[in-house]
């Protein structure tokens, strides 16, 4: 999907302290869009990356109840947040749902399913890739998972985190932007039904950190194929703005295996970001396009600018989940309040303001 890119919204809160020499991303239109086909290591030498690259990340997205009604008009389902999503060179969210109208509800409290028109809405919003590694993709069992895989493949939309077997579920999505090779892996760490949902050599499922050996091996393998390795995690305790012990334990292992950037979701509230050594972590991006107010309506888009030399810089654009379930950019006092609170969460996340 080669798509035009707009300019950044003028009302944005820049958190310069998020990274060394933090600055706002450039307002000029990017010169290239990412390839959407999975790539393989080229046999010819790859030239060094050239030029800044902007990556955008947001949290949990699904289409159920009030957000299901947004699919009556898929091109406008995401509402006024679209310019923030479409302005980046690459944009990613967590798709918190099965895409199916079949299957058996699994023994759990909440069950989310969405129509195939979800992919039209996601494409129109400016999102380039999604992770399905979460605690809802198998809400309707193996039948629902099979339908989800068929739907996303029929839509020709890039995804990570699920597959017909373990190799496919942990396989990275590879793309090259402005000469920089980027690998993205999706992993869940949510315990609920993990032992029956995790993909194995002979069973379809999701990539799950319950298989730590395979998780770390997948990151090491991606490290050999890419200049930048991104791991999108589904983890944390719902309602807790601080990372739990499991997150704090796993993060350095992911970093040591070769993850340059770790993005998180699942807590339904923002969690802090910053640096763990040379790895940038955003523990939790909160709800984004969501069916209920849940623990918090505060959300936003995190943009990371990769530079040809030097550490990345980060800018957070605050937003609020509205009564329609759509994320709406925050302005004025609301933007200041959300941005200030988000910046303060770095303390309990145990992350640094600059790489070390």
Q: What is the pLDDT of residues 182-238, one digit of tens each?
A: 999 999 999 999 999 999 999 999 999 999 999 999 999 999 999 999 999 999 999
Where residue 63 sits, what CATH number does that domain have? Answer: 3.60.21.10
Q: Classify residue 7: in a domain, yes or no.
A: no
Q: Which domain holds residue 137?
A: 52-347
Q: Classify residue 168: in a domain, yes or no.
A: yes
Tokens, residue 319: 């937003």
Q: Classify residue 302: in a domain, yes or no.
A: yes
Phi, psi of 254 (to 5 degrees): -65, -40
Range list of β-strands (E), 123-277: 129-131, 159-160, 162-163, 173-177, 180-188, 205-206, 228-234, 261-265, 270-276
Q: What is the mean pLDDT of the chain?
A: 89
Evaluated on CA atoms 259, 295, 126, 148, the torsion sign reads positive
- CB-CB neighbours of 127 under 10 Å: 26
Q: Classify residue 311: in a domain, yes or no.
A: yes
Which residues are bridge partners to 352 per DSSP? 275
Evaluated on CA atoms 188, 191, 193, 196, the torsion sign reads positive
Q: Classify residue 256: in a domain, yes or no.
A: yes
Asked whether residue 17 carries a pLDDT value surpassing 60, the answer given is: no
Phi, psi of 61 (to 5 degrees): -130, 135
Q: What is the pLDDT of residues 272-297, one digit of tens each?
A: 999 999 999 999 999 999 998 789 99
Q: Classify residue 149: in a domain, yes or no.
A: yes
Q: Classify residue 47: in a domain, yes or no.
A: no
Q: Classify residue 169: in a domain, yes or no.
A: yes
Asked whether residue 26 carries a pLDDT value surpassing 50, the answer given is: no
Tokens, residue 154: 């029929």
The total number of structural domains that make up the chain: 1
Asked whether residue 177 carries a pLDDT value surpassing 60, the answer given is: yes
């Amino acid at each position: 999907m080669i798509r035009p890119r707009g300019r950044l919204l003028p009302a944005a809160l820049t958190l310069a302290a998020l990274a060394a020499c933090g600055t706002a991303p450039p307002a000029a239109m990017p010169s290239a869009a990412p390839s959407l086909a999975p790539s393989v290591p080229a046999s010819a030498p790859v030239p060094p990356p050239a030029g800044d690259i902007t990556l955008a990340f947001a949290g949990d997205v699904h289409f159920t109840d009030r957000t299901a009604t947004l699919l009556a008009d898929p091109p406008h389902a995401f509402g006024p947040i679209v310019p923030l999503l479409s302005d980046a060179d690459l944009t990613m969210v967590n798709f918190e749902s099965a895409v199916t109208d079949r299957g058996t509800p699994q023994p759990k409290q909440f069950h989310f399913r969405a129509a195939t028109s979800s992919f039209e809405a996601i494409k129109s919003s400016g999102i380039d890739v999604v992770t399905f590694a979460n605690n809802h993709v198998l809400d309707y069992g193996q039948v629902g998972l099979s339908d989800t895989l068929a739907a996303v493949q029929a839509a020709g939309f890039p995804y990570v985190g699920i597959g017909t077997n373990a190799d496919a579920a942990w396989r990275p999505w590879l793309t090259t932007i402005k000469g920089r090779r980027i690998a993205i892996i999706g992993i869940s760490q949510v315990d609920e039904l993990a032992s029956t949902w995790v993909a194995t050599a002979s069973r379809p499922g999701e990539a799950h950190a319950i298989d730590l050996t395979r998780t770390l091996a997948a990151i090491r393998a991606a490290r050999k194929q890419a200049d930048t390795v991104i791991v999108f995690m589904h983890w944390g305790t719902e309602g807790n703005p601080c990372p739990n012990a499991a997150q704090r334990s796993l993060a350095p292992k992911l970093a040591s295996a070769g993850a340059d950037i770790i993005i998180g979701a699942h807590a339904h509230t923002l969690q802090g970001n910053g640096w763990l050594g040379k790895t940038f972590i955003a523990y939790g991006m909160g709800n984004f396009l969501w069916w209920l107010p849940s623990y918090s309506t505060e959300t936003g888009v995190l943009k990371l600018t990769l530079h040809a030399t030097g550490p990345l810089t980060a800018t957070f654009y605050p937003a609020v989940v509205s009564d329609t379930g759509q994320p709406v950019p925050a302005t004025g006092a609301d933007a200041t309040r959300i941005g200030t609170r988000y910046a303060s969460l770095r303390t309990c996340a145990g992350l640094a303001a600059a790489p070390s």
